[in-house]
Amino acid sequence: MNGFSYLFLLALAIAVMTQLWLARRHIAHVLAHRHRVPRPFDQRITLEAHQKAAAYATARTRFEIASLLYHSLLLLAWTLGGGLQALDQAWRHMGWEGIVLGVAVMLSVLLITALLDLPLKIYHTFVTEQRFGFNQTSPGLFAADLVRETLLTLVIATPLLALVLWLMAAGNDPEQIRPLWWLYVWLAWNAFTLLMLWLYPAFIAPLFNRFTPLENETLRARITALLHRAGFTASGIYVMDGSRRSAHGNAYFTGLGRHKRIVFYDTLLKSLVPDEVEAVLAHELGHFKRRHVHKRLAGMAALSLAGLLILDALLGQAWFYEGLGVSQPAPHLALLLFMFAGPVFGFFVSPLLLYFSRRQEYEADDFAARQASATALVRALVKLYEDNAATLTPDPLYSAFHDSHPPAAQRIAHLLELAVRHDAVPAPSPPAS
């Protein structure tokens, strides 16, 4: 233990206590507002559905509390508890060294962490999601997904980790750091990110889900007209069998350049009518037209560069390793320790990043109101809030630390203002079902 150890413990304690306080606030706020459906949802969402959403939010937040405490204990076990040091020594005693040693240790940490997270994943899927009627996956499919995810992790992570450690090593001595290693690793990481954006829709996603071209000709014509109005090109419009695993609905864009795909969950298409689907798609188009995807990629690149520069300053500091439970400095251990400690010290930056994300959601809504219909988007969102049991009354502070999208009431109020401005026949509130 040294001064950095105590600083790490203090930062962890503050982060954990803040998250526990926010979670308790959120639960109390949701339960205090569960007896009445807030405006403007009271004409569309029943009290029963609102109370189900409150119970679901409460259950998820309590699970979040348990998960937070569990992962905090695991973090202490890996660092100050000597877990990472013991794992590294075990591989060294087997005669492994250099880049091979580094890859073995890092892959071991990934696999052990996944194994330790498995009970939480099982509980979330087969208890929480099952209780509220959202889980559609079977134990067999769950196990098959787990095997596929593990194999995919090994196939992708092994060469990537080897490349990173090779770029860090100077000459034939992997313990000596190459000058400007952080620049080479940063370039490789960004190239890998772009490669994954291209690989994911064509090769990775089909390993887990079935994607079929949209067959509804009326909806396809409507979407094609929207794409033409917005000046947007896509390589295809697909329906994903999301209902195999969950009753939650969604839609998204994926891919780069001319290879962008539009993907709808089958559950979403069952819930929404064509003009609502069009409005949801217009919102997603808004993210592309306002260059939110490019801005997020640029932001991730800037943050990764800043992180690598900080890590470069820590690599030769004995107090950094010793303060986190490691006695023998090595590049792979520095990477792992930075991955462990970084989120602890960066916790209080998250509200700023989420603020920008919520602002982009409003901008995408503005685009949807101009290209489609704000009223239709209101109807679609209200249906999705109800179908997904999303709470309509989150605690404001909790939302600031956790939510990438604006709270439901604020977002709907903004869209109703846009409806008055842009829609031919505005609707003051969602219609009753």
Residue 375 maps to a domain: no
Residue 427 has pLDDT above 50, yes or no: no
Residue 121 maps to a domain: yes
One-letter amino acid for residue 346 of the chain: G
Write out the two tokens for 252: 């998204």
Residue 243 maps to a domain: no
Per-residue confidence (pLDDT) for residue 4, from 0 to 100: 95
Residue 53 maps to a domain: yes
Mean pLDDT of 91-111: 93
**What angle (nearest 5°) sits at the alpha carbon of residue 313, between those of residues 193 and 356?**
45
Residue 251 maps to a domain: no
Per-residue confidence (pLDDT) for residue 46, from 0 to 100: 93
pLDDT for 352-382, tens place per residue? 999 999 999 999 999 999 999 999 999 999 9
Task: Among 62-71, 81-90, 155-164, 194-203, name the one with the lowest average pLDDT.
Answer: 194-203
Q: Which domain holds residue 153?
A: 3-206+295-351
Number of domains composing the chain: 1
Per-residue confidence (pLDDT) for residue 176, from 0 to 100: 76
CA-nearest of 296, 229, 237, 289 to 263 is 237
Question: How far is 433 from 428, CA to CA, in rounded Å?
Answer: 15
Per-residue confidence (pLDDT) for residue 172, from 0 to 100: 61
Residue pointed to by tokens 């004995």 = 318
Residue 374 maps to a domain: no
Question: How far is 189 from 184, CA to CA, in rounded Å?
Answer: 9
One-letter amino acid for residue 67 of the chain: S
Residue 13 maps to a domain: yes
Residue 415 maps to a domain: no
Question: How far is 249 from 86, CA to CA, in rounded Å?
Answer: 44
pLDDT for 268-308, tens place per residue? 899 999 999 999 999 999 998 899 988 999 999 999 999 99
